[in-house]
Structure 1
Amino acid sequence: MSVFDHIEFDSHEHVAFYHDKEAGLSAIIAIHNTNLGPALGGCRMWPYVSSAEALTDVLRLSKGMTYKAAMANIALGGGKSVIIGDPRKQKTPAMMEAMGKFVDSLSGKYFTAEDSGISVTDLQTMATQSDYIAGVNAQYHYADEQPDGNPAPSTAYGVFVGLKASVEHGLNSSLEGVSVAIQGMGHVGYRLASHLHAAGAKLYVADIFPEGVEKAVAELGATAVAPEEILGLDVDVLAPCALGAAINDQTLPMIKAKVIAGAANNQLAREEIGDMLVERGILYAPDYVINAGGIIDIFHQRMEKSTNAALRKHIEDIGTTLKEIYTRADAQKAATNRVANIIAEERFSLKG
């Protein structure tokens, strides 16, 4: 099947495949749209069951980055890269060097950054082969801490700000005593849990890997939940922070939460799920709006001049943007994801 015929192909500008047998690298880079600027999107390493699954993921994720950049009001386009393999077992420095060469081959049309399965150390290795690696020379931190290039803290803080705004709008409540089920306790999920704990929320957490869950139970007083049960908990808020498509035709009927606000990309398996959420009275925070803290962070690190305070303010604008989407969606009786899409498309589409 041609890439052009793929169900997730959406006028992508560039899709590149790369294989380095000696380094053990099989990777794909997808650039969706560069109308607002060069494409930026993290590099994800995951044990995909097939190259077809990897292609589906990179096409969806790169498109989401275009919408994310537009809604975050930054002059960047959308792209993404994926490496096929288990980061816990197959990742090597030679593989990361090869990935750097792959990114460099696009001559600056695409900048990569950290994502699932890739660390700042990995990016530093890639950077030995390319100047188009973001997150390796960080200068700013939203909380006035020492920056290390990892955008996860900013992503988590943005999700926290967005979740708080969503609870205020959807439940007319503060976070004190609100119950939140977090699916995925990785770099972002755990940091989100920490923010929520400090705000007085009651936490339920799940992950396919036990480390983050055990830490949240010990340090944050969270309740551990089996991964297969987390989506159906009787809680106020569901925060998907793992892989995409968690909200689908099979899982939707079991969801009891009245607010869905999490860090995962592409949370809805298809756009129509958003309409179904409206019918069920569930408020959905469009994922590429609420999880934009990371790309905002990287944008500020690439600016000639910024400040910690400017970065923090830009991230906190996520809450304001979400409330604008909710107000417009309420007035139009429309799904929040469709309203967000319209606004983003108005911003990144070329005029005349």
Structure 2
Amino acid sequence: MTIVPAAEALDLDAETLAGHESVLYCRDEETGLRSIIAIHDTTLGPGLGGTRFKTYPSERDALHDVLRLSQGMTYKNAAAGLPFGGAKAVIIGDPRTDKTPELLRAYGRFVDALDGRYVTAADVGTNSDDLDIVGETTTHLTGRTVAAGGSGDSGPDTALGVFVAMRAAAERLWGAGGLKDRTVGVEGAGKVGGVLTKLLLDEGARVVVADPDPEARERVSAATAGAVQLAEYLGGPLEVYAPCALGATVTVARVNELGARLVCGAANNQLPTQDEDAALHEAGILWVPDYVANAGGVIHLVSGERLGRTRDEVTADVKRIADTAREVLSHSADAAIPTGAAADEMVAARLAAARA
């Protein structure tokens, strides 16, 4: 196994990695592991963030993804009031064909080499069963199965956090009725989108679920007794757009095409560029910043597994995401600034206070 600075492995200039404390590249010829761990900021504690196992066009594309994701984790953990900094990892490859127990154990040794500065968890392409195997070679992880002493799948709490944030924003837009009788489009029928759909139906919303995978659509249909409209790709008219798949889908043009006034979902890095934050604000589209809305999963991991809180306490912690969303939306309105900028200011203040 070879572990070197990413700048050396990928022939990068220092400016590319500016703002990150450490970015490391690992290659293990025996198992085929190629992985990058990016530690963005440890002001509040060890860097905590999931491991994304994904096929990338190039290692540079993988690097770009892990840098954005790790910075997002700093903001997510700070906004949620957790005692952790931000970090993220990617494993380059197809999880359907390249994921093996040997590779996961090698990845665990990579994590372990950072001596606790990085605490890993699951993300796209990895799950609790994988973490049980990673945990054979490192203790610096969270999100293992319940049988292995972990807190299990964090997806339901991610969905719950998105739901309470969405409801808080809907009440701000439409009054006490909130989401009742509103048409919500959920993009992505995975483990988060499926749970979110059921919560929305229970609230009295009309739900459209879109996913290009017919098996994913069928799972949601079966779980909801056919109470949702299913589509391969999301179209309008909608009142709420919930991006719960991959990022970079939230643009003014896209939201206007859907007809939505509110955007709130579980996907990370929803905006393709920071300019879109101001554009959404100017267009009168209310966006709940992704790292505020989707923090339920990391709260589940930290409160339930790392801090040992009860199930009821974890649920209460997740539901407080609604208060954070209200705080961000109120600051945005009072200061006449975009919601993303308002959330960033809140996080910056918390980090500055911790450094002081």
TM-score (norm 2): 0.91
Matched residue type, 2:49: G
Select 1:86's aligned residue among 94, 105, 113. 94
Q: Is the 8 A contact 2:293 2:321 kept in 1?
A: yes
Q: Distance in 1 between matches of 2:144 and 2:355?
A: 35
User: Which residue number corresponds to residue 160 of structure 1?
Assistant: 163
Higher relative contact order (CA 8 A, sep 6+): 1
With 303-312 and 280-289 compared, the bigger mean Cα shift is at: 303-312
Q: Distance in 2 between matches of 1:238 and 1:159?
A: 12
Match of 1:110?
118
* Equivalent of residue 222 in structure 1, options 202, 220, 228: 228
Q: 1:135 & 1:314 partners in 2: Cα distance?
A: 17
- 1: CA distance, partners of 2:223 / 2:307: 39
TM-score under structure 1 normalisation? 0.92
Paired position in structure 1 for 2:3? none
RMSD value over aligned CA atoms? 1.9
Distance (Å, rounded) in 1 between the aligned partners of 2:32 and 2:213: 25
- Provide closer, same or farther for how the CA distance between residues 102 and 191 of structure 1 changes in structure 2, counting only shifts above 3 A: same
TM-superposed deviation, 1:304: 4.7
Tell me how far apart the structure 2 counterparts of residues 75 and 292 of structure 1 sit (CA, whole Å): 13
Per-residue displacement from partner, 1:41-99 (whole Å, max 9, x unpaired)?
Answer: 01111111111111111000100000011110111000001111111222111111111
Q: Quick check: 1:63–1:78 contact (8 Å CA) kept in 2? A: yes
Q: Deviations over 1:11-41 (max 9, x none)?
A: 1001011111221211110000000000100
- Partner in structure 2 of residue 97 of structure 1: 105
Which one-letter code corresponds to 1:12 in the other structure? H
Q: Are 1:187 and 2:214 matched, yes or no?
A: no
The ranges of structure 1 where at least 4 consecutive aligned residues each deviate by more than 3 angstroms after the TM superposition are 248-253, 302-305, 349-352
Instruction: Describe the shift of the 1:4–1:249 C-alpha distance in structure 2 as closer, same or farther (beyond 3 A).
Output: farther
Whether 2:347 is the aligned partner of 1:344: answer yes
1:10–1:63: 8 Å Cα contact kept in structure 2? no
Equivalent residue number for residue 66 of structure 1: 74
Distance 2:146 2:222 in 1: 31
Q: 1:224 is aligned with what amino acid?
A: L
Q: Would you tell me which structure has more helix in proportion to its own residues?
A: 2
In 2: Cα distance, 1:311 partner to 1:74 partner: 13
- Structure-2 change in CA distance of 1:4 and 1:246 (3 Å): farther
The amino acid that maps onto 1:318 is I
In the TM superposition, residue 10 of structure 1 has moved relative to its aligned partner by 4.6
Q: Which residue of 1 aligns with 2:20?
A: 12
SS at structure 1 position matched to 2:53: strand
Which one of 233, 238, 245 corresponds to residue 235 of structure 1?
238
Cα distance in 2, alignment partners of residues 3 and 236 from structure 1: 44
Question: Residue type of the partner of 2:155?
Answer: A
- Paired AA for residue 225 in structure 1: A
The verdict on how the C-alpha distance between 1:10 and 1:341 changes in structure 2, with shifts beyond 3 A counting, is farther
Q: CA 1:168–1:249 in 2, change beyond 3 Å: closer, same or farther?
A: closer
Q: Which one-letter code corresponds to 1:179 in the other structure? A: T
Partner of 1:204, secondary structure, is: strand
The answer to whether residue 334 in structure 2 is matched with residue 331 in structure 1 is: yes
Q: Aligned pairs, how many?
A: 341
Of 115, 119, 134, which residue of structure 2 is paired with 1:126? Answer: 134
Contact 2:252 2:279 (C-alpha < 8 Å) held by counterparts: no
User: Judging changes above 3 Å, is the alpha-carbon distance between structure 1 residues 347 and 44 closer, same or farther for their aligned structure 2 residues?
Assistant: same
| Distance in 1 separating the partners of 2:125 and 2:249 | 19
Alignment-derived partner of residue 294 in structure 1: 297
Q: 1:252, 1:159 → 2: CA distance? A: 18
Whole-angstrom CA distance in 2 between matches of 1:118 and 1:246 = 22
